[in-house]
Structure 1
Amino acid sequence: MGNQMTEMLKGTLEGMVLAILADRPAYGYEITSRLRDQGFTDLVEGTVYALLVRIEQRGFVDVEKVPSEKGPPRKVFTLNAAGRAQLEEFWRTWSFLSERIEQLHTEGDD
């Protein structure tokens, strides 16, 4: 990933993770895998784990430790009401920004 992609991803990764959790509860590696499947192949697991700690501290998720067949228990993250509100705000902001950016892009083509 180029530097510009990395910088843009920093600003949107929280919303992307919240969107994944809105679909269903998940643990860190599962979230990273889904993002990689979406094309974010250079995404480092540590980045997602650090983000999960932050959204847990901010009260956007509920966490349950679930036994794992391989190793220690997994922390499964579930989006809660505060997280859903944050995700709604993310989508409103994303819509606003993406519409304006698209306008600038199409105006530049004229």
Structure 2
Amino acid sequence: METTQLLKGVLDLAVLAVLRDGDGYGYDILRRLRTAGLDEVGDASVYGTLRRLFQAGLLTAYVVPSDEGPHRKYYALNEAGRDELARSAKVWKGFASTMDDLLSGGTAHR
């Protein structure tokens, strides 16, 4: 199974988790995801995810002027985004635990 296929299902969660640690603009968020080990995440995927999460009301956005280039649009978690992060993290941990059980030869108990 390719990592890119797995990323499609968890990119929202990964972006929310990165923003939990601090606001960021598109390229900064992409860099933070790659630094965390998600090397195969694509630029367009991250920018699309940010737009979708913003439109869903999970993020706020603000623009910071720059003297060295175009203004940067920063994204931040709002209360709805923090709630979604907590909910999605719980679902992910349960799923990952079940997969760990299956892969280790055990039987899932959930």
- TM-score with structure 2 length normalisation? 0.90
**Which residue identity does 1:28 align to in structure 2?**
G
2:91 to 90, 93, 102: 93
**Which residue identity does 1:32 align to in structure 2?**
L
* CA distance in structure 2 between the partners assigned to 1:86 and 1:66 by the alignment: 26
Does 2:4 match 1:6? Answer: yes
Does 2:19 match 1:21? Answer: yes
Contact kept, 8 Å, 2:7 with 2:41, in 1: the verdict is: no
Other-structure match for 1:59 = 57
Where does the alignment leave 5 or more consecutive residues of structure 2 unmatched?
A: none
Contact kept, 8 Å, 2:3 with 2:40, in 1: the verdict is: no
* CA distance in structure 1 between the partners assigned to 2:94 and 2:39 by the alignment: 27
Per-residue CA deviation, residues 48-94 of structure 1 (Å, 9 max, x unaligned), is 00100000000001100111233221110010000001100111101
CA RMSD, aligned part only?
Answer: 1.3
The percent identity for this pair of structures is: 38
Does 2:83 match 1:81? Answer: no
- TM-score with structure 1 length normalisation? 0.90
Specify the SS of the correspondent of 2:37.
coil
**Which residue identity does 2:57 align to in structure 1?**
G
Decide which moves more: 49-58 or 3-12: 3-12
The structure with the greater share of residues assigned to helix is 1
Say how many residue pairs are matched.
Answer: 106
Residue 36 of structure 1, CA deviation: 1.2
- Aligned ranges for residues 36-51 of structure 1 at < 5 Å? 36-51=34-49
